[in-house]
Amino acid sequence: MLIQTKTLLVSADKPEKNVLNEAARIIKGGGIVSFPTETVYALGADAYNEEMVAKIYRIKRRDRSKPISVFLKGVEDVRKVVDFVSDDAEKLMEKFWPGPLTLVFKCTHPKLSLVLAKGEKLGIRVSPSQLIARLLDAVGVPITATSSNISGKKSCVAANRVFYFFNGRIDMILNGGKSKVFLPSTVLDVSTEEVSLIRLGHIPMEEIGKVVPKIRIPEEGTDDSNSPKEVKVSSVSENPQKGEEQTQADALG
């Protein structure tokens, strides 16, 4: 059943109180709102609301075996939901958060079982966006951070593209203009003591290498297991387009 999708203009830097209040009301009431991040547009819902998380999987046509990342406001909120924070994860959070870096932690939080896709890994974003920070304050729970696109399609960098894909399927689109950054976030797995690359993105690997001297990347053209190998970060080739196509890549953002 289609619903009426409302579009409101918003300032991403200084979000208007009435717009924030309405978006927060929708999310708390069991709805989905698309909004701009510092990279691409996201689909935001209460990450504890299994019905809404299931709906996001459905409207994105996303494989239910692939987890969905979430927005949190800061490091202290991260510690409340994850099982383990390594020394390298601490360094990455200190250097790059808030910013376009998704870190994947081990997580067994019972309220997040659906975004975890029944697994034990949770992708977390801490965005510099005032809009997202204030939405998190108003809603009081983690918000889904998956990109506003059909799985396998390019991420949306403008509100009109979100409308094209999701008109009648989500409750609201906050139009904050066209994204200034067209690449999604860099994604690193920090669920163990080792750091593994999941997706190349906005933060160059040379910058990651200044913080973490080694990283494990998927080995290409070897076997079906796609097992990672350990290399110096500086030897990882930059290929953002390929990174966007990786199977775990459209979590956001």
Is the pLDDT reported for residue 80 higher than 50? yes
* Mean pLDDT to the nearest integer, 67-71: 97
Under a CB-based contact definition with an 8 Å cutoff, are residues 95 and 211 in contact?
Answer: yes
Confidence of residue 233 (pLDDT cuts 50, 70, 90): low
Q: What is the pLDDT of residue 220?
A: 56
Tell me the C-alpha distance between 132 and 154, whole Å.
Answer: 22
Q: What is the pLDDT of residue 184?
A: 84
- Residue located via tokens 């909120």: 77
Is the pLDDT reported for residue 96 higher than 80? yes
Of 90, 80, 95, the C-alpha closest to 136 is 80
Structural domain boundaries in the chain: 6-200
Tell me the C-alpha distance between 41 and 111, whole Å.
Answer: 25
Is the pLDDT reported for residue 243 higher than 90? no
- Dihedral sign from CA coordinates of 59, 62, 67, 71: negative
Is the pLDDT reported for residue 246 higher than 50? no
Under a CB-based contact definition with an 8 Å cutoff, are residues 56 and 169 in contact?
Answer: no
Under a CB-based contact definition with an 8 Å cutoff, are residues 22 and 45 in contact?
Answer: no
Q: What is the pLDDT of residue 219?
A: 67
Q: What would the CATH number be for the domain defined by 6-200?
A: 3.90.870.10
pTM over 0.75? The answer is yes
Strand order, beta sheet including 146-147: 6-9, 172-175, 33-36, 41-44, 146-147
Confidence of residue 232 (pLDDT cuts 50, 70, 90): low
By CB neighbour count within 10 A (0-12 exposed, 13-18 middle, 19+ buried), where does 118 fall?
exposed
Is the pLDDT reported for residue 251 higher than 50? no
Is the pLDDT reported for residue 34 higher than 70? yes
Q: What is the pLDDT of residues 180-231, one digit of tens each?
A: 877 888 999 999 999 999 999 989 999 999 999 899 987 653 333 333 444 4
Q: What is the pLDDT of residues 148-176, one digit of tens each?
A: 999 999 989 999 999 999 999 999 999 99
Q: What is the pLDDT of residues 127-144, one digit of tens each?
A: 999 999 999 999 999 999
Q: Are strands 121-125 and 70-71 parallel, antiparallel or unpaired?
A: parallel
Q: What is the pLDDT of residue 213?
A: 86
Is the pLDDT reported for residue 110 higher than 70? yes
Residue/partner pairs of 54-60 with CB below 8 Å, 24 or more apart: 54/114, 56/32, 56/144, 56/146, 59/32, 59/166, 59/169, 59/170, 60/146, 60/149, 60/150, 60/151, 60/250
Confidence of residue 249 (pLDDT cuts 50, 70, 90): very low
Tell me the C-alpha distance between 231 and 88, whole Å.
Answer: 16
Both structure tokens of 165: 């894909």
What is the separation of C-alpha 28 from the centre of its chain, rounded to a whole number of angstroms? Answer: 19
N-terminal to C-terminal alpha carbon distance within the chain: 28
Mean model confidence pLDDT for the chain: 87
